[in-house]
Structure 1
């Protein structure tokens, strides 16, 4: 039996319309994986999708929980593979994407994690455009989140060293994680290739809770960088109020 190389957690809540495609994109990767699906007690067709894939899952459950971050920590703790990641139930891996991430992280033994490029897919129109991603530097990370979460892979040793994601955060647990990995374990490695899809739709937390998202992000920058660059204050009217009007 092939031992899993990657532990993948799929946190989900009422995302049944996307979940099947997300799981299909995982199991079509040519990488031995163990997949834990942790659902927060959905009331849509999620249970039907779970039943469809149950024989392929390393573990699954559906009940009320303490939120996305807590579910991610729970799932990764249940696994044993040397590399870990999570894929939200409305996102996707591109064909061969996970293999590219594994190879890149194996080729960069000093890095705690690797991240690559991803597409933003606008659900309502079918259009896509690249997620803003840049090569890693502290200055760039302080100006904005330069890491696209669906396109990341993390060493389990680094994940455990920093204690996973912060369960008290609900919007920017990934941004906080990149900071803590960098400060404790070293710079993240950048792979200049597309490996995943970030689905953008009207019910994402980024769209429905813009003010909370921006507020959490600023607090993370202040905590890890020591101060908040002026760029955050200049961008706030557009990122919060203007986009809220026209989303």
Structure 2
């Protein structure tokens, strides 16, 4: 049996309507993977979807846990592949994406991670919009999260070095992770290709807890950059309140 190149944790809770597509996109990749579904005790059809894929999964469980970050750390710790990532159960990979990211990681051999471009799939309108992703610079990272989580691939050695995602964070755990990986291991490498899709729907945490998301992000910037650029305070009314209102009333996001 071919040794897996990537360990993928799939944290999930009551996302059965999306989970099948996420797992399909993983197993359609052209690289060997080991996949661990960490379900938080769903009460929808998630267990049926997990059962469908059980023979291809390297592990799965379904019970109450300590939250998304803890589930991600748990899933990745179960594997042993050279590279790691997580795919939320409402997102999906594009065909060939992991091989593109691995090729870049193997070519550079420096830095903790590689990342590509990502689409937002707006569930309400069934349309695609590009996520704001840029080549890396600390200045730009201090102004916004320029890395899209579903489009990332991390070296296991770097993941273990920093201890994975911070389970104390609930909204900005990925933003905090990029900062810690950068500080410990150097700048990540950008792949100028679309490799993943982030699903935007009414049940996402970023839509329902915008204020908490913004508060956590500001704390992350202050912790790792030393100060909070004025952009964060100037953009807060739009990012927190107006965007939420637009979504509730059916306006553009």
The interval holding the TM-score normalised by the smaller chain is over 0.9
Q: C-alpha separation between the residues in 1 aligned to 2:93 and 2:244?
A: 28
Aligned to 2:251: none
- The structure 1 segments of at least 4 consecutive aligned residues displaced by more than 3 Å after TM superposition are none
Aligned length: 247
Using the size of structure 2 for normalisation, the TM-score is 0.97
- The answer for the alignment partner of 1:157 in structure 2 is 157
Q: CA deviation at 1:113?
A: 0.1
Distance 1:48 1:78 in 2: 22
Match of 2:231 in 1: 231
Structure 1 CA distance for aligned equivalents of residues 105 and 152 of structure 2: 10
- What is the aligned partner in structure 2 of residue 24 from structure 1? 24
Give, in whole Å, the separation in 2 of the partners of 1:185 and 1:98: 21
1:147-182 per-residue CA deviation (whole Å, 9 max, x = no partner) reads 000000000000000110000000010000000000
- CA distance in 2 between partners of 1:153 and 1:244 (Å): 31
What residue in structure 2 maps to residue 3 of structure 1? Answer: 3
Aligned partners of 1:170, 1:105: CA distance in 2, in Å?
28
**SS of residue matched to 2:102:** helix
Alpha-carbon displacement from aligned partner over 1:206-226 (angstroms, at most 9, x marks no partner): 000000000000000000000
> Counterpart of 1:197 in 2: which secondary structure?
strand
1:108 Cα deviation (Å)? 1.1
Root mean square deviation, CA, Å: 0.4
TM-score, normalization by structure 1:
0.99
- Residues 1:222 and 2:216 are matched in the alignment: no
* SS across alignment from 1:190: strand
**What's the offset of the Cα at 1:69?**
0.2
Q: Corresponding residue for 1:36?
A: 36
**CA displacement at 1:111 relative to structure 2:** 1.7
SS in 2 for 1:55: coil
**Deviations for 1:102-128, whole angstroms, at most 9, x for unmatched residues?**
111111101210000000000111111
Q: Unaligned regions of 5+ residues in structure 2, if any? A: 248-253
Q: Which runs of 5+ in 1 are unaligned?
A: none
Asked whether 1:205 is paired with 2:205, we answer yes
1:120 aligns with 2:120: yes
